[in-house]
Every structure is written in structure tokens, then in C-alpha cells.
Amino acid sequence: MEFALQAENDGKRLRLDPAQPLTLRVKRGDQPGGEIVVGLKDGTPFLDNRSTAICTVNGVEKAAARLAPDDLLQLGALRFTVVGIADPLEVIEPATRPAPAAAQDSDRQRQQRRISASRMAAVDQPSQTSGLLKRVSVAFSGRAEKQRLDQLEAERRTALIEAGRRSLGDGSALGIPNQAMNQLARGQAVQLRAEDLAGLPRWREDRQKLVRLDAEIAALRQALGMGADPDAVILAAPNLKSDERQKVERAFATMDEVGTQSLGGMADAAEPPPRPVPRRR
């Protein structure tokens, strides 16, 4: 008995050849992702998944399995059914009455011409299975990248929910002391130092995590041709020249070294503006 894979969407069959197994190559973007092999071994069809894609047999995920007729094989979004084909030698055609000798010779010549013509046509016509194999390859291309993108987007949503919950708690996300928060709620001015903000290290970690997630999501979307990320949280910094970037970094470093109390003392010690001198007539 011979075996074949019958596609459920269009009913086309891929015959399994014992000498040449059916190989489906899987791609992960531009990188190869392995291959799936379906063939015959000792007269029994088998499945050998050597790729990162998921294959199921009758709804159960399998990396390798022996197949039987009527087994349902799912490769990504495509579904196949293993079918058995009876041996052509076992087909018995109805007997016909013998024809005259002249008619037999004529029929034999016409039959030979038809066989020759059909063989030439079979060589010239495109393969019917090429389109099916192409759809299988397209179904697997980018599968791992899409799964990784969904995972990163879910991780970013979870990080945003946790950061929002901390920002609405006591002391906000920076860990401002309760006394300072009460003064701010009454509209009073407060003085804060970095040492007073217990949540500042955690806030920096959350921001660095979101920057990393945004960068990975943007890279995957670009690889998949999905365009810019509309849900990016941290905007990218502008591209500055090297000398301008150094000036900006020195300015921020100088501002970090100057405390709030020092700025307040400088403001108190500032000289009053000069009084206008009236003009003499």
C-alpha cells in the first residue's frame, strides 16, 4: 500500500516516496529554522520534526511519530490527513470482448501516441505540489519572531501595570516621604535630595527595562516589516553629533553635582536689581 498527505484546504495529495522523503524547510526571518521530514520507513509513514516549529498528530504535539491512515497531521496553519492508496495492481477492470486483429493494432498505436503525449505534457506542466510546499514554507517563516514579539509586548504591558501601581501608591514611584507628600498636597514647597527618594533606584531599573523592551520590539517589528511601534513608551533620544552629545552629558553631570540646598542659597544671596536713575532735566 502506498501513502500520501492530503491537504484539507484544497484536497491535493502529496505522495510519499520511500526513496525520497518529503522535506519541508522552516525559516525564522532570514535564518534557517530547521526542517520537517515526512517519509516512509519499512512501509510505514513517519514524521520527524527537526525544526523549531510545532507539529501535532491528532491534536498531540509530536517531535517524531509513526503515522497511520486517517491520522490528522497539523503543520502550523496547514492540516493534512494521512491517506492510504491501494496498490494499482490490485485494481480489477471489467473484462471486454476481444476485438478484431486490425482494430487491436490500431488501438495499440493510438494508445502509444496518447502515452507519449501525456508524458511530454507531464514534463512541461508545472508541479502541482510546488504551490502547496511554498505555502507551507511561508506559514513557518517568521513564526518564531512573531511569538517572541507577542512575548515581549506582554512583558511590557505587565511592566507598565506594575509601574503604574507603584506610582499611585504611597510616595509615588520615586518613594517620596509621606511628610513631603503631605506638604505637596497642601501646596507647600519642599526640598528633596536623592537620598530621600527610596524608590529612585527601582524607578531607574523600570525605565531601563522599558527602554530595552522598546528596542527589542522595534527591532522585531522592523524584521517582520510591521513598521514603527505605536505603543512605544520611551521615546528615542535625538541623534546628536559627538561634540554636542559630550556638551549635553557634561551639563547634566554638573547639574547632578549641584544640590537643591546650594541652589536655594544662591538664590537667597542674589543681589537685588539696580534701581533706575532718573534723568536730569
User: What confidence category does residue 155 fall into, taking pLDDT thresholds of 50, 70 and 90?
Assistant: very high
According to the model, what pLDDT value does residue 261 have? 47
The arithmetic mean of pLDDT across residues 165-170, rounded, is: 74
The amino acid at 23:
T
- Range scoring the smallest mean pLDDT among 18-22, 66-70, 114-118, 253-257: 114-118
According to the model, what pLDDT value does residue 234 have? 73
- Residue 49 corresponds to which cell in the numbers above? 520534526
Q: How many CB atoms lie within 10 A of CB 254?
A: 9
According to the model, what pLDDT value does residue 103 have? 58
According to the model, what pLDDT value does residue 11 have? 81
Rounded Cα–Cα distance for residues 231 and 59 (Å): 35
* Res. 7: pLDDT tops 80: yes
Residue whose cell numbers read 507519449? 116
Burial of 208 from C-beta contacts in 10 A (0-12 / 13-18 / 19+): exposed
Give the tens place of pLDDT for each residue, 172-210. Answer: 667 777 788 788 788 888 888 877 777 788 888 888 888
- Residue 157 corresponds to which cell in the numbers above? 504591558
Element (H, E) at 14: strand 13-15
| Topology annotation, domain 1-87 | Tumour Suppressor Smad4 (2.60.200)
According to the model, what pLDDT value does residue 190 have? 82
Query: CB neighbours of 51 closer than 8 A, spacing ≥ 6?
Result: 26, 33, 34, 35, 36, 140
User: What confidence category does residue 123 fall into, taking pLDDT thresholds of 50, 70 and 90?
Assistant: very low
- Range scoring the smallest mean pLDDT among 6-15, 118-127, 140-149, 165-174: 118-127
Rounded Cα–Cα distance for residues 260 and 196 (Å): 12
Burial of 167 from C-beta contacts in 10 A (0-12 / 13-18 / 19+): middle
Rounded Cα–Cα distance for residues 142 and 30 (Å): 8
User: What confidence category does residue 119 fall into, taking pLDDT thresholds of 50, 70 and 90?
Assistant: very low
| Highest-pLDDT range among 98-102, 184-188, 269-273 | 184-188
- Residue 172 corresponds to which cell in the numbers above? 509615588
Rounded Cα–Cα distance for residues 209 and 207 (Å): 5
Query: Do 222 and 186 form a contact (C-beta atoms < 8 A)?
Result: no
Task: For the chain, give the percent of residues with pLDDT over 70.
Answer: 58
pTM: 0.35
According to the model, what pLDDT value does residue 158 have? 92
Tell me which of 100 and 228 has the higher pLDDT.
228
- Residue 82 corresponds to which cell in the numbers above? 494521512
Strand 78-85: give its sheet, edge to edge.
13-15, 2-7, 78-85, 72-75, 55-57, 60-61
According to the model, what pLDDT value does residue 154 have? 93
Average pLDDT score over the chain: 72
- Range scoring the smallest mean pLDDT among 32-36, 158-162, 185-189, 224-228: 32-36
The arithmetic mean of pLDDT across residues 242-261, rounded, is: 56
Give the tens place of pLDDT for each residue, 34-53. Answer: 788 888 888 888 888 887 77
Q: What residue spans define the domains of the chain? A: 1-87, 143-233
